[in-house]
Amino acid sequence: MSYHRPFYGTVALLALLCVACSDLTAKTEQPAPETAQPKVADGDCFAAIDDAEVTQAQRKAQVAADRERAAAWVAVGHAFVRVARTQIRPELYRNVEACATRALAVAPSDVDALHLRGMVMMDAHQFADARALAQQLIERDADDVAAWGLLSDASLELGAIADATTAAQRMVDLKPSLLSYGRAAHMRFLAGDTAGALGLYSLAIASGRPLKDREPSAWMMVEAALVFLHKGDYAGAEAGFDAALREVPGYEPALAAKRQAARARADKPTSDSIKASL
């Protein structure tokens, strides 16, 4: 199984994590919020939320011309997705679903709106439905990269590892990118090839450098750091989580992973404790 990958190794990936953030201004890590996030109305594409990107997308959708209406709803949905991922707020996917529904009401076969609905299905654990949707999209367009990604994700959740791997490979073949390399990396990790996984994560991070949205790169850094954590390399994991926080200050997935790493390190037996137990 080939993902067109070179081997980067631990040292090279750590260097890449640092280089990826070298042009950013260092910011103090923000603590996890102590108060609950305000509730958002169920199924409301125009729900008020304290996020400039969501608000801007909502305003554009309100004045969009009829021919642009579906794309405008999809843009609002993706803005909600970004907040949901950055702040770990899965309840916002109800609002994403509302946006997908509005878009599909205007254009029932709109591919971008169907991709958005696929994301909602995955969050709702409707994996069989998500796989069926992906297959329908691929029948329409065999080069639909996002549909192959959806098929890989849904197949993996359904336990169809071979299908998930094949779909991830197809993504890489069609369009080597952060998203395709990231999925391929996860498949290599599940196969027990940590070196291959780290090599692919390094490609994903490098591919994300030109992107304006820094969240995908931050997510890849967290995923790569979790591989280091799995290996027991706490310093490597910490470097990856900190790199993600420099990409997206206050990034909750990185903060949550740092807490996980701290617990794992605290639970790790020391040489003194092992001797004492003998």
Is 183 in contact with 163 (CB distance < 8 Å)? Answer: no
∠ at Cα 89 (167, 203), nearest 5°? Answer: 40
* Residue 87's pLDDT band (cuts 50, 70, 90): very high
Domains located in the chain, CATH noted:
1-25+194-265 (1.25.40), 46-123 (no CATH), 125-175 (no CATH)
Is 110 in contact with 103 (CB distance < 8 Å)? Answer: yes
pLDDT score, position 269:
63
| SS3 assignment, position 74 | helix
Separation between Cα atoms, residue 74 and residue 99, nearest integer Å: 6
pLDDT tens for 24-66 read: 333 333 443 443 444 444 458 888 888 899 999 999 998 888 8
Q: What is the CA radius of gyration of the chain?
A: 20
pLDDT score, position 43:
59
pLDDT tens for 122-137 read: 999 999 999 999 999 9
Is 181 in contact with 3 (CB distance < 8 Å)? Answer: yes
pTM value? 0.79
pLDDT score, position 37:
44
Check residue 29 and give left, alpha or beta (phi > 0: left; psi -120 to 50: alpha).
beta
What DSSP line would sit under 114-147, residue for residue?
HHHHHHHHHHTT-HHHHHHHHHHHHHH-TT-HHH
Closest CA to 248 of 205, 206, 214: 214
Q: Is 234 exposed, middle or buried (0-12, 13-18, 19+ CB in 10 A)?
A: middle
